[in-house]
Structure 1
Amino acid sequence: MTAQAGCREFTDLDDPIMFSDPYPRYAELRRSAPVSRVRAPLITGGKGKGYMLTRYDDVLAMLADPRFSSDVMRHDPVRRVRWLIPKPIALLTETMVTKDDPDHQRLRRLVHKAFTPKLVAGLADDITRIARQLTEQLARSGEVDLVSDFAVPFPLTVIARLLGVKDQDRDEFHGLCLKLTQSPPTSPRGFVGLVTGAARLTKLFERLADERRSDPDDGLISQLVRATHEGDKLSDREAIAMIFLLLLAGHDTTSNLIGNSVVALLDHPDQLARLRAEPELLNTGIDELLRFTTPVPVGTLRVALEDVEIAGTRIPKGSRVFGMLISANRDETVFPGADELDLSRNPNKHLAFAFGAHYCLGHHLARLEGRIALTQLLRFDRLELTVPRESLWFRPLVSLRGLESLPMRVG
């Protein structure tokens, strides 16, 4: 029997329990089937089956291994009919996340200056102002949906400010972003909503990019259309694709982090009490919340460029492979007491931002937003659910882990 023939097939990836409480299943996989075959068309590029890694060390190694390519389109037969893919969706496949070196490094060099720790730290006052305005609205309401009333609009408003979206374009931007991010392509209607929202956003971004070329400001769109490195610069298409990447990566990650973190703290009242007593604990505690909640559960899809053996399983050349960050971040061989929230955990080498060459460029911003959002929410003496804990429902998405709603009473 070949190593590959003995590989277990995991068929429960779309089981409701994998959205509500997947951790026991992943723990069992780490013990008995660290590499398993799965059927997940939306993750495996339409090919149907792929290989899923669940142990920390295996996920870490794969993310840093050049034998696994991020440029899936280049190695997929679908490239032959790429012209059939709607333009706004095709744009999403042309970002640095889906490129290998040297293309990946070229794009990353052109945009990294906008995400240095110093520049991100300079956004703190604006981000705090946005969070305070939203929490003041929560205070006036008393009973709120923390997802729709805070966790969703907060990062959208921050992104609009970061991009330099003007006041007159703000409502259109917010509406189209919600249409795009709240339309998971799990049904024909959802896919149509995704394509429609992306197409309208593309037109808006193209208009804003044209305006910033002639009338630049300090926003990120201006920086992207003017970014240069050793005489190189982004093409118009690359600039628009980068704006899309910033929107999608910056919105859902932060939104899910906020909602999931509030629930995690309510589930661990001792840690919530520690945080109220020691607010500075959030400076490092945000990484524990990222590890514990893992708002983006799965790393970006890779394709094996040659036969590769992982944990005794042969992964054939051309296979789609993805690492479950959500499982790796609960690996008890790396994180003692992995299923417990410990805001003082140190070291904390979590993979919430992936690893290697494709380590999330916006990690400083995500941490800053998370810290500021939670700091402002913790100003409320009362943070309590208005529904039973077991009734909270996570969106049925493999690639994102976030709540549909979070009914709460604040004050």
Structure 2
Amino acid sequence: MSKVIDTLEKTDLGSREMLDTPHARFAYLRKYQPVSWATAKGLLQGQGGYLLTRYDDVMTLHSDDRFSTDVLKNSPAGKFIWLLPPSLRMLAQTMVFKDDPDHKRLRTLVHKAFTPKLVTTMAPDITKIAEQLADEVAAKRDVDLVHAYAIRLPLAVIATMLGVPDKDRDRFHMLVEKLGDEQHKLMRGYPTARKLAKLFESMIEDRRRHPDDGLISELIRANEGGDRLSHRELVSMVFLLLLAGHDTTANLIGSSVLALIEHPEQLAQLREQPELLETTALEELLRFTTPVADGAARFAMADMEIGGMPIPRGSQVIGSITSANYDEAVFENPESLILTRKPNRHLAFAFGIHYCLGHQLARLEGRIALATLLERFDHWELMAPRESLRYKPTASLRGLTNLPIRMY
């Protein structure tokens, strides 16, 4: 490490402290050293990279084209991509890790299939799924809401959107949940990823022969000036839609329920004014819980300076969305849950060219999931000490591993 880096505060974003209780550390860094140094297994390579914790700096990282997300071109590890199993290699080649014009090409094609109209038509299906899961919660009263509701709802929604055959639904659900448990250990998840890839390849081939109105058929049909997604791009895109649209929404639902339990006055207000979910409440829950803790690491393509700190060309830089969403310079009383907060310029869906493509679906699922629970259950009670709750062991996403709760 350089002498400059040696003087910086060091933070392990994958430590138990930063996974479970990160806000005090981030508040300290925002105040005293907004550009510091971080390590994070699976998110930052080698010895780590620069960590940005202030809102404006994170915005710069997401909008300045002097930063690249193309890990294959800019990282030494990219030279060894051929060593990865094919299914994992495809994930490293999705549009999340592409710069323009490659990113724009893929996003344009996918947007022709994954349209606001398609998302809107999913509302009745999402409502039906939420009500069925709520029935199961009601029958048991005491449940782990993460596994009984928060994970299963978006998983069932994405299975419906993709048109996973009924005969494959149970296997699909099992594989996705298993991959979620394994994703923080890359090679350990390979066999599961390979099985999912084979299922997706079979579904894509079936839709080529028998097209329908589902998402996969729309992705196959997507055309921009004669350009279409290749077979490999189709499989990787289905993978991306699955992973990005499943785990993050599950995090939002579980963490939002916990946040409302911990803020009973806000829960009471939401019961009295459920229409707030359509305006400000969900946006505040997105800010407060921040289901995606950090965006993908960027690579500096030129020597530059951020917050008075020189960033050498080739450096890895990561922006903490969790910290940005609690920046006192942007949000008044950021550690308070205020369901009527307005304006609310949170970065829960990132910013710039990598702004989350599935934000409308995530918002729709979050609103319906929470509205269903509010309507069905008057009593929400946490059935474990708050300090015993743990967050998933991955620095990129932030969501509870379990949430023991009593609802009736």
Asked if these proteins are the same fold (TM beyond 0.5), I'd say yes
Tell me the distance in 2 between the aligned counterparts of 1:11 and 1:204.
Answer: 40
Aligned equivalent of 2:386, options 389, 392, 411: 389
Superposition map of 1:32-111 within 5 A: 32-44=32-44, 46-111=45-110
Task: Classify the secondary structure of the residue corresponding to 2:13.
Answer: coil
1:307 aligns to what? 303
2:20 aligns to what? 20
Q: Partner letter of residue 115 of structure 1?
A: F
1:214 aligns to what? 209
Q: Does 1:377 align with 2:373?
A: yes
Q: Does 1:173 align with 2:172?
A: yes
- Is the 8 Å Cα contact of residues 179 and 193 (structure 1) preserved in structure 2? no
Tell me the distance in 2 between the aligned counterparts of 1:71 and 1:389.
Answer: 39
1:124 aligns to what? 123
Q: Partner letter of residue 83 of structure 2?
A: L
The aligned length equals 405
- Is the 8 Å Cα contact of residues 35 and 51 (structure 1) preserved in structure 2? yes
Q: Partner letter of residue 65 of structure 1?
A: D
RMSD across aligned positions (CA): 1.5
Q: Partner letter of residue 242 of structure 1?
A: M
2:318 aligns to what? 322
CA change 1:332–1:199 in 2 (3 A) is same
Q: Does 1:356 align with 2:352?
A: yes
2:334 aligns to what? 338
- Is the 8 Å Cα contact of residues 265 and 272 (structure 1) preserved in structure 2? yes
Tell me the distance in 2 between the aligned counterparts of 1:39 and 1:6.
Answer: 13
- Is the 8 Å Cα contact of residues 34 and 53 (structure 2) preserved in structure 1? yes
Q: Partner letter of residue 218 of structure 1?
A: D
1:263 aligns to what? 258
| Further displaced range: 400-409 or 71-80 | 71-80
Q: Partner letter of residue 16 of structure 2?
A: P
- Please give the per-residue CA displacement for 1:173-214, whole angstroms capped at 9, x wherever unaligned: 11111111111334xxxx444111111111110010000001
1:231 aligns to what? 226
Tell me the distance in 2 between the aligned counterparts of 1:117 and 1:272.
Answer: 30
Q: Please state how far the C-alpha of 1:115 moved relative to its aligned partner.
A: 3.4
Q: Partner letter of residue 404 of structure 2?
A: P
Q: Partner letter of residue 294 of structure 1?
A: T
Task: Classify the secondary structure of the residue corresponding to 2:9.
Answer: strand
Q: Partner letter of residue 391 of structure 1?
A: S
Q: Partner letter of residue 125 of structure 1?
A: P
Q: Please state how far the C-alpha of 1:227 moved relative to its aligned partner.
A: 1.3
Unaligned residue ranges in structure 2 (runs of 5+): none
Superposition map of 1:158-197 within 5 A: 158-186=157-185, 191-197=186-192
Structure 1 residue ranges, 4+ long, deviating more than 4 angstroms after superposition: 2-7
- Is the 8 Å Cα contact of residues 3 and 312 (structure 1) preserved in structure 2? no
Tell me the distance in 2 between the aligned counterparts of 1:218 and 1:148.
Answer: 30
- Please give the per-residue CA displacement for 1:367-408, whole angstroms capped at 9, x wherever unaligned: 000000000111201111111222212122211111111111
Tell me the distance in 2 between the aligned counterparts of 1:15 and 1:101.
Answer: 34
- Is the 8 Å Cα contact of residues 41 and 48 (structure 1) preserved in structure 2? no
- Is the 8 Å Cα contact of residues 143 and 409 (structure 1) preserved in structure 2? yes
Tell me the distance in 1 between the aligned counterparts of 2:125 and 2:40.
Answer: 40
1:399 aligns to what? 396
Q: Partner letter of residue 30 of structure 2?
A: R
Task: Classify the secondary structure of the residue corresponding to 2:305.
Answer: strand
Task: Classify the secondary structure of the residue corresponding to 2:318.
Answer: strand
Task: Classify the secondary structure of the residue corresponding to 2:38.
Answer: strand
